[in-house]
Structure 1
Amino acid sequence: MPKVAGVDVLLYLNTGTDVSPTYTVLGGQTEATLNREAEEIDVSAKTDPDDYGDFLIGKKTWNIECEGFYVDSDTAFDALEQAFENREHLMVELRMPSGKTYSGTVRIQELPMEFPQDDGTTFSTTLLGSGPLTITP
């Protein structure tokens, strides 16, 4: 099974509508991370025979963290800013080179930009999953 280079995995944002989505790559991206987590529910009892804790899996959550260089007039970044400013959801897709996708609806938790004197302008963002993460092989 071939390994996948991170440079080939890209984040796309819906720049169309919810009814007729158009996914556009977020320009300038240098890093993206898909985080998935499940809550633990402690069901340990003093009467458990082996003195070890026992846990169930509760609600699952996910988010995407992304950073990159700011690209002026980037349609996807404009959609990201607009969704942040209007407190709206946004549909996103992480695309693997094989065609596999991780997609869902997100809310923008943070969207800082940096303007250093001796480097390019950069952005970072945390996109909180709202609802299920859909995995399409």
Structure 2
Amino acid sequence: MARGVNFLIKVNTANSDTPSYEAVAAQRSGTFNRGYDTIDMTSKDNSGWQDSDYGNGNWSISGSGVLEEEDPALDALDAAFLAAETVMVQFEFASGKKYEGEAVITDFSIEAPHDDVATYSLELTGKGKYEEIEASAS
């Protein structure tokens, strides 16, 4: 049985020529979303039933956690967000399998309540298709 604690969001903290993926520190949640837009193919020939087909695919990664100010992955996200640049990200399974792709940071929030720990939340929207990377045999 897979446990959520073993799934990680990772960010490339180096460059595209020699990537180095670091897990975002102190994660509490992570979600890998995948979907398709639909194309309405309905016509009078469908006897009153809607007919749909696959349109464009989409994916995103969202997550949240405790804010660690000295985290290389959060620093890379912050720099990319401020420069309006894309980031290379991975969603890693407990087995080592990964989904990897280029993403736009569409939300990067920091919450700092007076009576609790500071936290972050982020939304990364895929730019193009993601790649599936199988777990390496060790």
TM-score range, shorter chain: over 0.9
* 2:63 is the alignment partner of 1:66: yes
What is the CA–CA distance in structure 2 between the aligned matches of 1:21 and 1:47, rounded to whole Å? Answer: 52
**Which letter does structure 2 place at the counterpart of 1:105?**
E
Aligned-partner SS, 1:79: helix
Distance in 1 (CA, whole Å) between partners of 2:7 and 2:45 is 49
Q: Percent identity?
A: 33
Show the counterpart of 1:113.
110
Deviation of 1:33 (Å) = 0.6
Q: Partner amino acid for 1:30?
A: R
Classify the secondary structure of the residue corresponding to 2:49: coil
Gaps of 5+ in 2: none
Q: Residues 44-70 of structure 1, C-alpha deviation per residue, up to 9 Å, x if partnerless?
A: 10132x321111100011111110000
Is residue 131 from structure 1 mapped to residue 128 from structure 2 by the alignment? yes
How many pairs align?
134
Query: Aligned partners of 2:13, 2:91: CA distance in 1, in Å?
Result: 15
Equivalent position of 1:9 in the other structure: 7
Letter of the 2:62 counterpart: E
SS at the partner of 2:44? coil
Other-structure match for 1:30:
28
2:84 match = 87
Distance 1:106 1:19 in 2: 17
Looking at structure 2, the residues matched to 11 and 28 of structure 1 have their Cα atoms a distance apart, in angstroms, of 11
Partners of 1:68 and 1:44 in 2: CA distance:
44
In 1, Cα distance between equivalents of 2:81 and 2:12 = 14
How many Å apart are 1:134 and its aligned residue? 1.1
The TM-score, its normalising length taken from structure 1, stands at 0.94
Tell me how far apart the structure 1 counterparts of residues 45 and 86 of structure 2 sit (CA, whole Å).
46
